[in-house]
Amino acid sequence: MDKVRIEELNVYGQVCPSTLLLALREVNRLQDELHRGEVQLDIRTDNRYATATIPNAVRNMGFDAKVRKEEAGYLIQVCAARS
């Protein structure tokens, strides 16, 4: 299996809806590579509200999203949906 490239988006300090809009803009930019499984987008945020809105939105767009608690905030990993 080819190695997946990690793209990072840091939206610390941002609150919704900016956090969501920034995340969506990045997902839109990377959509083809994300769908092909070549890229994984790691979004770091300290906005707890975003841990619900971002995964919900990207799942509706056909991607998988996982949320992990990190020391200073949250890591939301967006990748291609499993068929």
Closest to other proteins by CB, 4 or 57 = 57
Closest to other proteins by CB, 12 or 17 = 17
Tokens 């291609």 correspond to what residue? Answer: 80
CB of 11 to other proteins, least distance (A): 13
CA 23 → CA 14, 73, 82, distances in Å?
A: 11, 16, 21
Whether the Cβ atoms of residue 28 and residue 57 lie closer than 8 Å to each other:
no
Which residues make up the interface to other proteins (CB under 8 A)? 15-18, 20-21, 24-25, 27-28, 31, 49, 52-53, 56-57, 60-62
